[in-house]
Amino acid sequence: MKIPRKLLFVLAVSLFVFSSSGKAGPLAEKGELILSNPFEGSLEKKKLIEIGNGWQRRISFGEWKLKADGSVTAANVPEDGHGPVLTYIAPVRNLVIECEFRVPAEPVKDRHFRIFLDHQDYRGHTIQSTANLSSVFRPVGLTLQHISKSSDDSKKTIQDIEFGPVEITLRPDTWYKMRLDVVGDKAWTSVNGVTLFGRNKVLDVEKSKIGLNPGKAGGSIRNFKVWAVKAENDDAGVDEALQEINDRFQKVEVQVISWPQRMGERFGNIKRLAFMAYPEDRPSGKLPLLISLHGAGGKQMSLEEQLVRSARVKGLALAELAGKGLILLEPNSSDSWDPDTLDLMLDYVLETHPEIDEKRIYVMGHSMGGTGTWNWILKSADRFAAAAPCGFSAGTNPEGVERLVDLPIWGMVGGDDGNNTAAVQTMVDNLRAAGNQKVRHTAFPGASHPQGNAAVFSSVELVEWMLSQ
């Protein structure tokens, strides 16, 4: 299996989260259509129009005209002091918005299109997506931005969070579609094949209106639609996270693998995507496999959150720190680990990855991952060359430990991790009493549960010990 070289890319970094022009998919699946082409009726400026389904519409600035083809054109009114704005007013939260737009050939300046969402308690915009050809007010390119201003007439900027800009190509008098997904604290936008992702807690509020703004140069819009979110796309943000991690890591290259549908249906609570790390300088011959099982905190995380966390304090972080000639596999689960399902997963991995040395397979985990490790080795001890069940309390029952007398096991735990500290000691004592001569035990002095996790996943010694077995 040939490992691809790292891709070179330009990464635009904000203060709060990375963002990228990669080909990442949208955040959400479209649910109920709650607003569709609502241009009929009066387009008189400043007049509030009821358009049904709880929505109101208002022309805030500019002159807007409905054309026979169903599109609307906007012209700037200089005395307004602001470019044309069309707003739709209703309390909203998680949305998918699409609108086609066309910027004019002239004038040269101030040609852009943006969709924004506002919060009723402050001036500014909770989030806005701007495709800018030549506006003097915003960076050229595609940008996601949160901006809040003072409530007085000075409009002083209090906070400006910018994701991007990234380069886009826009031709005048050509129709393009902008899509903006806002789900919780995340936002994603796409124009002409270019995407941008941003994340910040300030986005996770109820919004009061949606605005469309073609800029002072004016322009045309059509096919404006808004959907409620049916479900969050579990791939959202994964591509961007993967790029950032591989740009930062030096010793391993991280890949995201997807279980095929036929296997996913048999894998129960195991999520569709898993993470693998290969050594950057790959040795010849077959490689050992280390399987890392995450804890309970990962059950409710998005896959992007799990990927970022793994690269910070879990298996991927350990693989990078250790820099050894091994493959690391980190599956993801929405519930407790099931040893039967894990066996099915390992069967599939070995079938599809012939570069793995089947005689050198290791497993480790902390907390729920420690329980999963313990239950798996109790069922399938002969599959592993060594194991590290860590930071958990489910190993105190001596039943079945005789099956583990020949398996090297290292139990690690925080020295101040409540019941887990004593439980791991009991597990080690039971193994030794059963005749296991290859048991090791470490209690990190004064370490709490999270600190114990950090210690386990920064232990290069643990990896070296496993590889020696």
Model confidence band, residue 233 (pLDDT cutoffs 50, 70, 90): confident
Model confidence band, residue 400 (pLDDT cutoffs 50, 70, 90): very high
Q: What is the distance between the terminal CA atoms of the chain, rounded to a whole angstrom?
A: 25
Answer whether residue 1 shows pLDDT above 50: no
**Exposure letters 153-172 (e unless 16+ CB within 10 A, then b):** eeeeeeeebbbbbbebebee
Residue 355: which of 91, 3, 67 has the closest Cα?
3
Q: What is the pTM of this model?
A: 0.64
Average pLDDT, the chain: 88
Model confidence band, residue 406 (pLDDT cutoffs 50, 70, 90): very high
pLDDT digits (tens, 9 = 90+) for 161-217: 888 888 888 888 899 999 999 998 889 999 998 888 888 888 888 999 999 999 888
Name the most confidently modeled range: 222-236, 263-277, 446-460: 446-460
**Category of 141 on φ-ψ map: left (φ > 0), alpha (ψ -120 to 50) or beta:** left
* Cα distance between residue 402 and residue 433, in whole Å: 9
Minimum mean pLDDT range among 30-39, 135-144, 422-431: 135-144
**Complete domains list, the chain, with CATH:** 12-232 (2.60.120.560), 249-467 (3.40.50.1820)
pLDDT digits (tens, 9 = 90+) for 13-68: 222 233 333 345 788 889 999 998 678 777 888 888 888 888 999 998 989 999 88
Which carries the bigger pLDDT value, residue 149 or residue 294? 294
Answer whether residue 334 shows pLDDT above 80: yes
Which carries the bigger pLDDT value, residue 16 or residue 112? 112
Query: What average pLDDT score do residues 238-257 get?
Result: 93
From residue 347, how far is each of 255, 351, 354 by CA, in Å? Answer: 19, 6, 11
> What share of the chain in percent tops pLDDT 90?
60
Q: Spell out where 367-426 has E strands.
A: 386-390, 409-414
Residue 298: which of 328, 256, 334, 270 has the closest Cα?
334
Residue 389: which of 405, 404, 406, 367 has the closest Cα?
367
Residue 2: its pLDDT value, please?
32
Which carries the bigger pLDDT value, residue 463 or residue 29? 463
Query: What average pLDDT score do residues 437-465 get?
Result: 97
Minimum mean pLDDT range among 247-251, 300-304, 397-401, 402-406: 300-304
* Cα distance between residue 327 and residue 325, in whole Å: 7
Residue 82: its pLDDT value, please?
86
Answer whether residue 279 shows pLDDT above 50: yes
Query: What average pLDDT score do residues 421-445 get?
Result: 98
- Quickly list DSSP for 182-248: EETTEEEEEETTEEEEEE-GGG-S-EEEEEEE--TT-EEEEEEEEEEEEEE-TTTTHHHHHHHHHHH
Residue 415 burial (10 A CB sphere; 0-12, 13-18, 19+): middle
Residue 9: its pLDDT value, please?
24
